Amino acid sequence: MALTIITGCSTANVPPAHAESSKYAAIVVDANTGKTLFSANADATRYPASLTKMMTLYMLFEAMRAGRVNKNTPIPVSAYAAARPPTKLGLKPGQTVRAEDAILGLITRSANDAAAAIGEYLGGSEQRFAQMMTAKARRLGMRNTVFRNASGLPDRAQHSTARDMAILSIALREHFPREFAYFSTQSFVYKGRTIRGHNRLLGKIEGVDGIKTGYTRDSGYNLASSVNLGDRKIVAVVMGGKTGAARDAHMASLIAKYLPRASRGGGSGALIAARDTAPMPVMPVDLPDANEVPVPIARADVGDEIGQGDTDEMEMALVAPTPRPAAAVAMAAIAPTPKAAVPHEVDPVTTASARSHGGWAIQIGSLPTADQAQAMLAKAAAQAGSTLSAATARTETFEKNSTVFYRARFVGFETKTAAWNACAVLKKKNFGCYAIAQ
């Protein structure tokens, strides 16, 4: 179930300054049909910088839709999160930040401390959360994206493409139309301070309703834009601009040229994946104490990393990777299924520090294809009789060693006892089974 962008494009009229840049890439997509209207290096590997935060927000919006988080949920701030380099909200170790303030901080100020806090809260550690982000990217059809952190701060292994960022932009608007309105925020007040956004196209170009800027020295100036005017909709991505102003000017020219060529009306259902509204089964874990998390060491020569009006990130030379307490806590919470009990790949069950409110589910397998997972669910339902009559069969994906697997689950159990009892019946039928809190 993946987003599809149809190829077929023009590469004309790329400004010479961009055409000569090894960092430049761009794409314009008709969001009604998925047709590519313009493309230049759209599938070339690039650094996403703070466009990464679009996926961090996708994951948070998904948790909100599932009922595990609401806009007033207090998100804990570890010393690690608080120490992320600028730009930031100035969060302090041991405090909490409201989920809505964290959202607005990511969208306007591109706050790296808030992004790390979200990652630790939803994933148990930022490293674990990045794995979840990458798995979600694959599910959405983002084939050339790998995430290594929640913020987009420099990491050589973190990369994406203009096409993948367009897919993510469309997915955010189509899967979360209510939450997508946050991306039009130009400023908000946090602890008495007015925090203004970096997206200069908002309010200046008719129809632009989001979504995100990004910058590091290695990425250049990035921008993803959503335009919704009348019955025409496009999403455009520019990566690797030499300056923020040049990037914005190029984006404005792409919008002016290709919005009139976009289709009128029509739905994007054919190119949008299933809405993934089902809650992701999680196990609660505790965040580490603030003083247990290593603090990064800043380089002395980072001053030139701030761009014109686009203070998204400053590069940092971090200490060598160290096992973080949050990651250890998350991994310790995983309840592995014995290999002998399940004749397929052992599933690294997703963990999270977000408390769950969705009842219980049971898992009977992790299979290499969706068809195999669905066949196993059908077989189990047929053999279990009334035991599973009130449950709903569901498949979910996860990635391990760059390979996608499909979880076969039944959801909808109100109590742990009900889930355990269902597992007991299935085990007698020679199914592997374990219960998971949602």
Instruction: Read off the DSSP letter of residue 108.
Output: I
> Which residue is catalytic, options 21, 39, 50, 160?
50
Q: What is the rounded distance in angstroms from the CA atom of residue 39 to the CA atom of residue 165?
A: 13
Q: What is the 3-state secondary structure (H, E, C) of 184-223?
A: HCCEEEECCEEEECCCCCCCCCCCEEEEEEEEECCCEEEE
Return phi, psi of residue 417, to 5°. -60, -40
The encoded tokens of residue 115 equal 């992004």
Q: What is the rounded distance in angstroms from the CA atom of residue 144 to the CA atom of residue 376?
A: 30
For the chain, helix (H) and strand (E) counts, in that order, are: 11, 13
Which amino acid, 240?
G
Q: Is the dihedral of CA 51, 52, 55, 60 positive or negative?
A: negative
Return phi, psi of residue 124, to 5°. 90, -30
- H/E element, 236: strand 232-241
Active site residue 92: no
Q: What is the rounded distance in angstroms from the CA atom of residue 271 to the CA atom of residue 163?
A: 14
Active site residue 169: no
Q: Are 63 and 354 in contact (CB under 8 A)?
A: yes
Q: What is the rounded distance in angstroms from the CA atom of residue 282 to the CA atom of residue 59?
A: 13
> Which residue is catalytic, options 39, 78, 110, 125?
110
In DSSP terms, which residues pair with 316 in a beta bridge?
Answer: none
- Residue 87: asked if its preceding bond is cis (omega within 30°), the reply is yes
> Which residue is catalytic, options 23, 53, 88, 233?
53
The encoded tokens of residue 24 equal 């430049």
The encoded tokens of residue 119 equal 């990652």
| Angle made by CA atoms 126, 128, 131, in degrees to the nearest 5 | 110
- Burial (CB < 10 A; 0-12, 13-18, 19+), residue 382, is exposed
Active site residue 242: no
| Angle made by CA atoms 412, 413, 414, in degrees to the nearest 5 | 110
What are the catalytic residues? 50, 53, 110
